[in-house]
Amino acid sequence: MYFFYNFTTDLDHWQAGDMIFTDKKQELMGQLSYKDFETGKKFDFGYVSVSEQEIIDFANFFDPLDFHTNKEVAKKSIFGGLVASGPHIFKVFHLTKWIPLFKDSVMAGLELKWRFLKPVFADMKVFGNAVIVDIKPNPEKGHAVIKWHFNFTDEKDEVLQTIDMIVLHSMQ
């Protein structure tokens, strides 16, 4: 069994649906490189939203806990309803924003610290951004170690999740 997503976009926002890219988005895919990076630079990824069925489908494959897969059990849980698996939202942003923009420069992930602070419910708008916290270039080896901070918030700007990630990027 394979799990995959289809998405639509208007360049500013991503939502569940069929994959459609505008010409401008296709021009940007994979084109950001080391020369585009600077400490403090923020990348705004717009928002994503996942439906109840997407939550259930993702959880059935990756995180089959009842409060992700069973609406009735979820209502009685501490969340009071069906919630997305922690990694679900990041996976959506990763596939729809991170990979298209940075796939040509990423060499390897090195470290990850993830905090799940508040639940994500169906059809909730989740906004994401990433900030470059630190850059350690190694020109002799042709790569740089970059520390990223990801922030995922709701419409009230309340933080739902954060990720501190260190990634090895090519300097080419």
Higher pLDDT, 160 or 31: 160
- 150 burial type by CB count under 10 A (0-12 exposed, 13-18 middle, 19+ buried): buried
Please say if the pLDDT value at position 8 is more than 50: no
Please write the tens of the pLDDT for every residue from 99-110: 999 988 999 999
Residue 83: which of 117, 55, 43, 124 has the closest Cα?
55
User: Domains plus CATH for the chain?
Assistant: 7-170 (3.10.129.10)
Residues 6+ apart with CB under 8 A from 23: none
Under a CB-based contact definition with an 8 Å cutoff, are residues 92 and 108 in contact? Answer: no
Residues 6+ apart with CB under 8 A from 143: 107, 137, 168, 169, 170, 171
Please say if the pLDDT value at position 21 is more than 50: no
Please say if the pLDDT value at position 111 is more than 60: yes
Under a CB-based contact definition with an 8 Å cutoff, are residues 34 and 170 in contact? Answer: yes
Structure confidence at residue 170 (pLDDT): 96
